[in-house]
Amino acid sequence: MGISAQSIIFLLIFGFSAMGGETLPTQTTGTYELLLDQYIDKCNAKIEMKNSSLENICRAAAIAMLKGTFANTYKQELVSGMIEEEISPKPYKLQVYLNDRFYSLIREKKSAL
């Protein structure tokens, strides 16, 4: 049983939205938001180490606090950017993207001083 010419024309005119094509961005957005929430939770967990006697661990806790605040503050912008740049919704790709955006912001602020 083949596909009729009318069916093909309908799909070409209206796209594949009737077959669920419009749910992909919503699913992707939800996936990015979930991964971003997990990233923020990990940053918040690292903040607990701020009272360590080791200076490098205290510094890592402070950076984690800044990264978590950054991710939480710019959540929607980050999700939109990941969709726009077609970042694969995988935790390690998200972490690379967030680190790049975070340190880009730090460099911009530092150069403005």
Q: Is residue 105 part of a domain?
A: yes
Q: What confidence tens digit (pLDDT) does each residue in 22-40 have? A: 444 566 889 999 999 999 9
Interatomic CA distance for residues 89 and 106, integer angstroms: 24
* DSSP string computed for 44-85: HHHHGGGG-SSHHHHHHHHHHHHHHHHHHHTHHHHHHHHHHT
Q: Is residue 11 part of a domain?
A: no
Domain that holds residue 38: 23-112
Total tally of structural domains belonging to the chain: 1
Q: What confidence tens digit (pLDDT) does each residue in 40-78 have? A: 999 999 999 999 999 999 999 999 999 999 999 999 999
Burial class (CB in 10 A: 0-12, 13-18, 19+), 11: middle
SS3 84: helix
Interatomic CA distance for residues 113 and 109, integer angstroms: 7
